[in-house]
């Protein structure tokens, strides 16, 4: 592989948190742990919440439990997937991540289940 991929990291964000800020932050940190290895492999990591949360705040939303979130969080990931080349599905129950995988498969995008499965970008000689 010689071209970097834009890889959506999908996994639990809100699941199992009862919308508690510390639990949400811990889930986001777990998603972000995959960003560096993806970058090291020569690709561009993307997490939907990196985009959706600022959009939610800009819309006046006060957090993921805000009624505005339903119209922003999942739609953001769906729009991002129009630009992504692959999905990394991390372990854990997550309706949103499952939806991301379903959309990726509908679009014929590769779905990886570990960073080790992602091919590295080789440098042209």
10-19: pLDDT as tens digits: 999 999 999 9
Model pLDDT, residue 92: 96
Structure tokens, 74: 């999942």
Q: Are 43 and 34 in contact (CB under 8 A)?
A: no
Identify the three-state secondary structure at position 120: coil
* Structural domains of the chain in order of their starting residue, each with its CATH number: 6-117 (3.40.50)
* Distance, CA of 27 to CA of 50 (rounded, Å): 13
* pLDDT surpasses 90 at 87: yes
Q: How does pLDDT run across 16-63, given as a tens digit for each residue?
A: 999 999 999 999 999 999 999 999 999 999 999 999 999 999 999 999
* pLDDT surpasses 80 at 124: no
Q: Global pTM?
A: 0.94
Structure tokens, 80: 């991002």
- How many CA within 13 A on the CB side of residue 33? 14
Q: Are 98 and 92 in contact (CB under 8 A)?
A: no
Q: What share of the chain is helix, strand, coil (3-state, %, to 5)?
A: 45, 10, 40
Mean pLDDT of the chain: 95
């Amino acid at each position: 592989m010689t071209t970097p991929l834009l890889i959506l990291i999908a996994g639990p964000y809100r699941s199992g948190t009862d919308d508690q800020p510390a639990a949400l932050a811990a889930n986001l940190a777990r998603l972000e742990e995959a960003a560096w290895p993806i970058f090291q492999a020569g690709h561009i990591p993307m997490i939907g919440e990196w985009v959706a949360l600022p959009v939610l705040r800009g819309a006046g939303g006060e957090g993921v439990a805000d009624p505005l979130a339903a119209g922003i969080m999942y739609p953001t990931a769906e729009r991002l997937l129009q630009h992504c080349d692959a999905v990394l599905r991390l372990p854990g129950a997550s309706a949103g991540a499952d939806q991301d995988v379903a959309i990726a498969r509908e679009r014929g995008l590769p779905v990886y289940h570990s960073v080790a499965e992602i091919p590295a970008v080789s440098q042209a000689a």
